[in-house]
Structure 1
Amino acid sequence: MSNWFSNHPITSILGHIFIVAAGVWAFSVFVLNDNKINLYKAQVENSKTIAEQYMQKVTGLESEIAKLKAENERYLTWLTSEPKSFPALALKISSLERDLTALKLSSQMQEPGEKVPAVSLYEFSKGFSKGESFKDPQTKAVIGVSDINSNYTAVGVVALPDGKKIEIKNAKPGDSWEFNKSGKEYRLTLDSVNWINNSLKASVSETSE
């Protein structure tokens, strides 16, 4: 055997090189490629985990924001109902200012000696969020919104004091609904729709005495 290697040195060297090359190739294909695949799989799984964590965080933040808005509305309602609270005083001052303006306008149109009637038309507005509802405390008119479209329109239902319900699918800011309550005419208006933060605003205004 040793004589064969001695007699065929070039063949022996080439054979040795071929064996080593084959071993290196097998190692790179079966070991290194497997390691790369496992690394890529780990990176993908890690990215999925991070994405899920961010989604959970966003969901949690939206829930916290909704809770804070609800608490803020409760506090504001409580303060407004207290006669001596600042919000209640601000509403009272605003109402008196409107009455004063109306009286001034009426006095300019009245003949001397005529009695000027007091004018005070009812108005109420309030902001609310998707999934909540706007309810006017005096007329009990309601707008309930279940969803907000990306084109800044609202989906939900309008409930008027006479029991009539109107389904809305693409209600946009400025849409309004007329109704009568206790002999007075009112207008329910969707004032604003914000798709970015899922917020809306509505109002009820008396249109005649």
Structure 2
Amino acid sequence: MANPLDLFKKKTKVAYSKFLERIIKDEKKRNGSLPDETGMKKIINTFKTVDKAVKLVEKDPKPTNLAKLRVYAQTAGVDISKYVSGLNSGTNPELIAAMKELKKNVEEMDSAVKALDSLAQHSSDPALAKKLLVKQKNLDAAVNMNIKRVSDFQNEIQKLSGKTPIDPKAVSQLATKLKKIQGDVKLASKEYLTIQADVRDAF
């Protein structure tokens, strides 16, 4: 089965209100105005509540926080459906497609939250969901740091390749950095597999 932690983090990486802002901005750029601004304001307010609920779950994925997020996510889906169904036939199809895609995203997030709720309620360790979220957040931070290290490493290689003669000491330092990066990548991969196994065992 898909890792609910991965799916939840993927779907909430960018705040939903930010997604919506982008959709609105693109539509106004294309057509100069937005159809049914009142209906869209309702969706905006709902997504602001969803974003707050997401942050609560990230801090503490206890069943009450998960349940609240599910209610808000489902409300957002209903709001989008009402908005889209109320648009006239001449509405820009790109706006309709973007709103439907946003609804699909929210529904997938809701499914992930449902799985996390099951994990929190039926695990032999009630605090396991929280521990796993913390572990995954730490893993994400380590991966992002490694991405930066790789970028810095590539820049240093480019700088070194332009120098003549090449400094043996600089080459040695780069080799040490590369070993460190490779070691961290292996550790991150191992930690990712451990988290996946923990999630499977918890169900």
Normalised by the length of structure 2, the TM-score is 0.20
Q: Which has the higher strand share?
A: 1
Q: Which has the higher helix share?
A: 2
Structure with larger RCO (C-alpha < 8 A, sep 6+): 2
Larger Rg: 1
